[in-house]
Structure 1
Amino acid sequence: MKILLKGVISIEELQPLYDKSIECLHCKEPSTTKKIRSRFIKVARYDTDFCPIYKNPTANALYYYIHVCPHCGFSFSEDFSRYFPPTTQEDIEEKVCSKWNPHHFSDERSIEDAIKTYKLASYCGALKKEKHIIQAGILLRIAWLYRFQKKQEQEKRFLKLALLEYEASYSTGDFSGTQVSEVRILYLAGDISKRIGNTQAAVKYFSMVLERQKNAMEASIIKMARDRWHEIKEESVTSNLAAHA
């Protein structure tokens, strides 16, 4: 049954996507971008690196994580800081804005569109000297999108790039003050290391997580690290048995 009040949209007519007004961090021009209404976002499960697997793949919130300014091309997420270090805006103007062929990503996005927006944001973030932890999150999400496409080489490529940024964030401490904790960074470094085939590094990082379990508030991550650590040990035993069979 539809609601007949003037100006009120019925539940049946409500669309997953809506327009959100944004202001470009660089040029300050206003525009709109699409977002998915939370009621339509249904996660079936998460991969071990926190990649969300949606019940309805067409309502994938990852596609709309990045804002692309249609006026200047500067691309960013809501996690970007508003501060631009000296000379970075000039670099962005020269390397992004002056080469920008005005177009927009403000309509419904395909997975290919989404990948383009993330790569633009990664480039802009590098020019802006955005924190390593922010760059790591962007690169990890690109890997997830390639995982959805089953493009393993590209997924592995961006997992490696994300790992470098997580390691840089950990060593510099630039995750401090963000929603990403030390335990979460170490866990992700371990999980990514395992995914790219570096089990020695994975064991090291998972062990570092377990060493912090007394002071860590994230019991679920501690459990995940323990489970992953045991998986590696079991795989090692199985491999050794097979080698001597």
Structure 2
Amino acid sequence: MDKIFSGLENLGFNNVNDLKVFNDQEAEKVAAPIKKLQADSFLFDKEMKCPVCNLNFKTKSVKVNGPRVQSRDTDFFITYAVINPYFYDVWLCPHCGYAAMKADFPKIKSYQIEDIKNKISPKWKGKSYPEVYDENVAIERYKLALLNAVVMNAKDSTKSMICLKTAWMYRMLGDNTNECSFIEKSLEGFNRAYQNEDFPIYGLQRFSLLYLLGELNRRLDNDEEALIWFGKVLTTYGAPEKVKDMARDMRELIKEKSNI
């Protein structure tokens, strides 16, 4: 993927497409449009203090009773009605350009703060966002969070989850090419995380990550590799039957496709 950060030019980042998301080291549904009036009633402005520049700002947040689950995909993507919390998962400081998924936003370390101040803030051009976000707004904000994560050398699992959620946004738009490109990046990072990080890895226990590695490979038609990961799920002691059943179902899909 040559232009993973495309779309951030209007935010001041014109020469970032040569950046690698993961350094070399050892190691389909289209959502129905959301009506503005409906979504507005499930949003509120959350007051935040940026850990990078120490200035206050407000960010859109979703009320707890807002999301309505419609369906779940086999790679953990959830389709929501009325309001989509994925659209608001990235918090962005409008003053300095620091962006991260909300679970990570306050966890930035001191040396990472210096990276943001030196490499993000000088280029940052703020912008105003609409009251209600959509897939395209979410994609821009996820990409900005990914750029921040790359600049401050965040964990591979963090970058992988951003890539996966970006892929989901492209799925909602029916853009299979970009969806697969970001799934490839997510798979690369989760492979590295599996080898180098302690569990739980971004909230995933070992059996869940084994399954996800299999499913991401399956979605990229890496069927032989997918079967290996699904097999590991089925032989992992203590893996819940629900996850094992999911692995069996995906394994059967591969076998049916391949006439095995």
Moved more, 123-132 or 43-52: 123-132
Indicate the percent of aligned positions where both proteins have the same amino acid.
29
Residues in 2 aligned to 1:46 and 1:34: alpha-carbon distance in whole angstroms = 24
- In the alignment, is residue 229 of structure 1 matched against residue 251 of structure 2? yes
Residue 141 of structure 1: how far off its partner (Å): 0.5
- In the alignment, is residue 215 of structure 1 matched against residue 241 of structure 2? no
1:157 and 1:204, CA in 2 relative to 1: closer, same or farther beyond 3 A?
same
Q: Which structure has the bigger radius of gyration?
A: 1
Structure-1 residue corresponding to 2:34:
none
CA contact (8 A) 1:79 1:134 kept: no
Say what the alpha-carbon RMSD is for the aligned residues.
2.0
Residues in 2 aligned to 1:30 and 1:221: alpha-carbon distance in whole angstroms = 42
The alignment of Structure 1 onto Structure 2 pairs a total of residues equal to 221
Structure-1 residue corresponding to 2:123:
99
Residues in 2 aligned to 1:219 and 1:95: alpha-carbon distance in whole angstroms = 46
Q: Write the mapping of 1:22-33 to structure 2, written as runs, cut at 5 A.
A: 22-33=48-59
1:175 and 1:106, CA in 2 relative to 1: closer, same or farther beyond 3 A?
farther
DSSP-derived class of the 1:98 partner: coil
Structure-1 residue corresponding to 2:68:
42
Structure-2 residue corresponding to 1:115:
139
Residues in 2 aligned to 1:25 and 1:63: alpha-carbon distance in whole angstroms = 22
TM-score by length of 1: 0.83
Q: Write the mapping of 1:57-136 to structure 2, written as runs, cut at 5 A.
A: 59-80=83-104, 82-84=107-109, 86=111, 88-105=112-129, 107-136=131-160
Moved more, 157-166 or 20-29: 20-29
Residues in 2 aligned to 1:45 and 1:62: alpha-carbon distance in whole angstroms = 14
DSSP-derived class of the 2:48 partner: strand
CA contact (8 A) 2:184 2:220 kept: yes
Residue 219 of structure 1: how far off its partner (Å): 2.9
Residue 102 of structure 1: how far off its partner (Å): 2.5
1:178 and 1:114, CA in 2 relative to 1: closer, same or farther beyond 3 A?
closer
Residue 104 of structure 1: how far off its partner (Å): 4.3
Structure-2 residue corresponding to 1:3:
none
Q: Write the mapping of 1:155-194 to structure 2, written as runs, cut at 5 A.
A: 155-176=179-200, 178-194=202-218
CA contact (8 A) 2:157 2:201 kept: no
Correspondence for 2:44 among 15, 18, 36: 18
More helix by share: 1
CA contact (8 A) 2:171 2:179 kept: yes
DSSP-derived class of the 2:169 partner: helix
Residue 66 of structure 1: how far off its partner (Å): 0.2
| Larger relative contact order, structure 1 or 2 (CA cutoff 8 Å, min sep 6) | 2
Residues in 2 aligned to 1:200 and 1:46: alpha-carbon distance in whole angstroms = 25
1:105 and 1:219, CA in 2 relative to 1: closer, same or farther beyond 3 A?
farther
Structure-1 residue corresponding to 2:224:
200
Hey, which bits of structure 1, 4+ residues long, moved more than 3 A?
A: 104-107, 174-178
Structure-2 residue corresponding to 1:4:
none
DSSP-derived class of the 1:97 partner: coil
Query: Could you list the runs of 5+ residues in structure 1 that have no partner in the other structure?
Result: 1-11, 241-245
- After superposition, give the CA deviation of every residue in 1:86-145 in whole Å (9 maximum; x if it has no partner): 3x3333223210011123447321221110000000110112222222211111010000
1:200 and 1:85, CA in 2 relative to 1: closer, same or farther beyond 3 A?
farther
Residues in 1 aligned to 2:67 and 2:214: alpha-carbon distance in whole angstroms = 28
Correspondence for 2:171 among 143, 147, 157: 147
